[in-house]
Amino acid sequence: MVFDNLITRNPSLIAIIFSSSLLIIALAFEYVGNLTPCQMCIWQRWPHLGVVVICLLSMLIKNHYNTLLLLAGLLSLISSAIGLWHSGVELGYFNSPSSCIDTNFNADITLNDLLTKPISGCDVIVWDFLGLSMANWNTILSSFLGFFCISFGFYNRVEHYGKEKRT
């Protein structure tokens, strides 16, 4: 009962905790687990930072709460889309972006080329759990968060406007 009340009364707080947790876990893998993220891994983090900032703003600016919650959901779905693309790159379905390191080295590559590219390739799975890579997990969890934020953005809007029309 208390948990249900927390979710329905303040979905922004849940989104902040969820996105912050994903960011903290990613940073822990990077700095504690010494797993070097590729460029696409870093791209997936930015929308979660945006979710945290926008949800904090939604708690401060009550007039635009639902709109900001919908925007947070959209950002989370963007992270999910990047994760889906990254998963496809890992499995060889999609081409890796040019900013990711090319694992096919040739004799013409210069030292400057090596220094300006990330160390870990986007097509390399550096960690998996239950057969799913970090990009797969981000896709699943970010999709869940996106649909959560969007549904509560509309749910709270209907509930809020429904109460205004009755009075």
Two structure tokens written together for 133: 């890579």
pLDDT (tens digit per residue) in 113-140: 656 554 567 777 777 778 778 888 888 9
Instruction: Tell me the pLDDT tens digit for each residue of 53-81.
Output: 988 888 888 777 788 889 999 999 999 99
Query: What is the topology classification, in CATH, of domain 2-166?
Result: Bromodomain-like (1.20.1550)
Most confident of 3-17, 24-38, 118-132: 24-38
**Which pairs from 23-28 meet CB under 8 Å and 24+ separation?**
23/48, 23/49, 23/52, 26/134
What is the pLDDT at residue 164? 47
Tell me the HSE value of 106 on the side-chain side, using a 13 A CA sphere. 2
Residue ranges per domain, the chain? Answer: 2-166
Q: What are the DSSP E strand ranges found in 40-160?
A: 128-129, 132-133
What length does the chain have? 167
Q: What is the pTM of this model?
A: 0.74
